[in-house]
Each structure stands twice: as structure tokens, then as C-alpha cells.
Amino acid sequence: MKSKLFALLAMLAIIHAGYSDDPVKNGTGPLTQQYQNLLATAEVIEGYRMVKVYEVDRVWKAVTDSLKEIKAAVSDVKSSNTSLQVTIKALEDKLAKSETAHTDLIFAGSHIRVFGRDFKKSSFITLVLISITALIACIASLLIMGKVNYKACRDARKLYEDLYAEFDQYRHSAVERQIKLSRELQDYRNRQMDLRSA
């Protein structure tokens, strides 16, 4: 019974040694180390290396798993790149809109819109000051002309009143003269009538 137990323990030790925790021998290490291990465990028969099929299968499985991981990583990177490109495009659009808004804000700060046309504020202020100065000059000249015309009108009215008073006086004296001449004429007629009748 002890010999059977000893044989069983020996088999377990051999199996355990075959499935060691060394990742290179287990087929879980880097591919180059697994390839080097494959070459190291190969038997040389008449100048040719003989590789065990299960070891080649293990390396092949590691290669295909690595390729799948690489393809998955590349796919993840591509999708991440696509999402980053979309984010970059959105940020560029946002930046362009921000720059446009900034430019419009600067333009609006230095320009003013009057009657549908944009003017620089300094030019507009100069134009308004010139216009106001011209209007003040026109108003002043109109006031001066109004005073001159008022004085001329007052003088003309005074002259008219003087002429009217003189004319009224002349008419009054003419009427008096006419009445006086009429009386004299009537007196003359009356004398002639008296002379004829006498």
C-alpha cells in the first residue's frame, strides 16, 4: 500500500511539474518568450528540430488570442479616435462660433448702425457734432435774420403809419379845400345870379 501511495505522489509531482506556474511554459507569457521556449524544448533529430504539436497549438492559441486582443484594442482606439474626432469637430465649431461672436462683439463695440448702415463710432460722433454745429449755425443765422426782418418790418410799418397819417392829413386838407372852393364857387354863382337878376 505504501508503494501505491508513493507512486501516486510521484505522478502528482510529475503532473504538477508539467503544469508549472511559469507563464512562459504555460503559454501565458509574451509571444517571443513562448517562441524561444518552443525552440528550446524542441528535439533535434538528424539536424531537424522536432516540435511537439500540443506546444505549437499552445503557441498558436496565444498568437490568435494576442491578435484578437490587438484587433479589439485597435477597434477600441478607432472608436475612441472617432469619438475624439467628433469631439474635436464640435470644439472647433464651438471655437469658431465663439471667435465669430467675439469678432461681432468687437465690431458692435466700435461701430453703430444708423439707417441700415454701419459707421465707426468716432466717425458717427464727428458727423453728429458737425451736423449739430451746422444746425446751431443755421438757427443763429435764422434768429439774426428774424431780428433784422423784424426791425425792417417795424421800420416799414412806422413808415406806412407816417405815410398814412400824412395822406390822411392831406386828404383832410384836400376835403377842406374842396369844401372851401365849393363855397366860393357857390358864392360866385350866387353873385352872378344876383347880377343877372338885377
Q: Which residues contact 30 (CB under 8 A, 6 or more apart)?
A: 24
For residue 153, the one-letter residue type is C
In a domain, 89, yes or no: yes
- DSSP-based three-state secondary structure for 51: coil
The answer on 102 and 128 residing in a single domain is no
Q: Is the pLDDT of residue 191 over 70?
A: yes
- Could you tell me where the beta strands, DSSP code E, fall in the chain? 43-45, 48-50, 111-114, 117-120
State the Cα angle at 107 between 105 and 112, rounded to 5°.
110
Q: Of the candidates 108, 137, 165, which is a domain's last residue?
A: 108
Q: What is the pLDDT of residues 20-50, one digit of tens each?
A: 444 444 555 777 787 788 777 777 788 777 7
Where does residue 34 rank: exposed (0-12), middle (13-18), buried (19+ CB within 10 A)?
buried
The answer on 83 and 38 residing in a single domain is yes
The answer on 145 and 123 residing in a single domain is yes
Q: What is the DSSP string of 88-141?
A: HHHHHHHHHHHHHHHHHHHHHHHEEEETTEEEEHHHHHHHHHHHHHHHHHHHHH
Q: Is the pLDDT of residue 16 over 80?
A: no
The arithmetic mean of pLDDT across residues 113-132, rounded, is 88
The answer on 48 and 94 residing in a single domain is yes
What is each CA distance from 92 to 78, 85, 99, in whole angstroms? 20, 10, 10
The arithmetic mean of pLDDT across residues 165-172, rounded, is 93
DSSP state of 46: T
At residue 109, the pLDDT reads 83
Give how many domains the chain has, as a whole number.
2
- Split at pLDDT 50, 70, 90, the class of 101 is very high
At residue 24, the pLDDT reads 44
Q: Is the pLDDT of residue 56 over 90?
A: no
The answer on 171 and 145 residing in a single domain is yes
Q: What is the pLDDT of residues 125-168, one digit of tens each?
A: 898 999 999 999 999 999 999 999 999 999 999 999 999 999 99
Domain around 13 = 2-108
> What distance in Å separates the CA atoms of residue 10 and residue 18, rounded to the nearest whole number?
12
Q: Is the pLDDT of residue 17 over 70?
A: no
Calculate the average pLDDT of the chain: 84
